[in-house]
Amino acid sequence: MRSHKTSILIVNTNGKRNKTLLVPTRLLLHWKKYLGLTMLIILCLMGALGLTVFHRTSEIYEDEIAKADMIKSLVNVPKAQQTFHSIDENIFRINKLLKSKGLVQMNFENMGGPENENIDVIKINELADFYKEQLEDLEETLKNIPIGNPTLYNNIISKYGYRRNPFTGRGVEYHYGIDIKGKKGSSIKTTANGIVDFAGWYGGYGKCVIIKHKNNLKTLYGHLSEISVKEGEKIVCGQIIGKLGSTGRSSGPHLHYEVIKNEEKINPIEFLTFH
């Protein structure tokens, strides 16, 4: 049996051709019922979608919570906190030491703000990366400061300051560095990164190398038997620059070592570390 339909005339007000639309009569008579049914179906679909999203999100959060619990079980948070605090204290002490020597300190960025004693275990890697950068900056700072012994020996035969004339034993003279006795031909290494400012014969210093470092610092290595670098050459900390000797005004094989800050010669003993 054919369904009864009703014709709906659509009139175009611009004078163009009108259109006729056939619509089931039942739809017109019961449009409220059909509209309600349609809305109900839409609401059911939206509810089902929302429930699916909720369950999926819950699963994700449960996974994250499970991961956090696993990390907490693997990481000893109090111990990690103690370790980071220890690193902090070491950096502070090294900086204090540099300051006591009148040297450039490590530059701390992002200073200030509240101190957080609680370590978020989820962000522990970020905190570890932060301290890694701090230690790398500290290492870079130390590489540019002339600290340490440039020889293999620790026998200082003449200190910085006034001393007797080493050749006559009479009268006094001012000694602007320290003399370290050693075997002729043994290696001499630089104590910091820098650029060779001078390499050659330098009066009473004999064969001599002067290295310019950052922060207006220089180091001088005198009485060498051989020179292994040239002027303008970039030098890294610990690099061999020559060999111990007795050239120039010298009474025997030794290294004359000076530290110069702002063109003023200062006591190198403050920068040495002997084994």
Q: What is the CATH number of domain 155-271?
A: 2.70.70.10
Q: Give the global pTM.
A: 0.62
Q: What is the pLDDT of residue 114?
A: 43
Pick the more confident residue, 74 or 160: 160
128: pLDDT strictly greater than 60? yes
Task: Please provide the DSSP assignment of 55-88 as one string.
Answer: HHHHHHHHHHHHHHHHHHHHS-HHHHHHHHHHHH
- Yes or no: say if 153 and 263 are a contact pair by the CB < 8 Å rule: no
Determine the Cα–Cα distance for residues 233 and 252; give it in Å rounded to an integer. Answer: 29
Residue at token pair 């450039």:
104
Cβ contacts of 135 within 8 Å, gap of 6 or more? 87, 91
- Residue 272 backbone dihedrals phi, psi, to 5 degrees: -90, 150
- Residue 98 backbone dihedrals phi, psi, to 5 degrees: -60, -40
Domain ranges of the chain: 5-71, 75-103+120-143, 155-271
What are the tens digits of pLDDT across the range 6-28?
Answer: 665 566 666 666 666 666 766 66
Q: Which of 140, 143, 130, 179 is nearest to 159 (CA)?
A: 179
pLDDT category at 31 given cuts 50, 70, 90 is low
What are the tens digits of pLDDT across the range 231-267?
Answer: 999 999 999 999 999 999 998 999 999 999 999 999 9
What are the tens digits of pLDDT across the range 217-231?
Answer: 999 999 999 999 999
Least confident residue range of 35-49, 73-87, 182-196? 73-87
- Residue 54 backbone dihedrals phi, psi, to 5 degrees: -60, -45
Q: What is the DSSP letter of 111?
A: -
What are the tens digits of pLDDT across the range 154-210?
Answer: 899 999 999 887 766 667 889 999 999 999 999 999 999 999 999 999 999 999 999
Within the chain, residue ranges assigned H as helices are: 25-29, 31-74, 77-100, 124-143
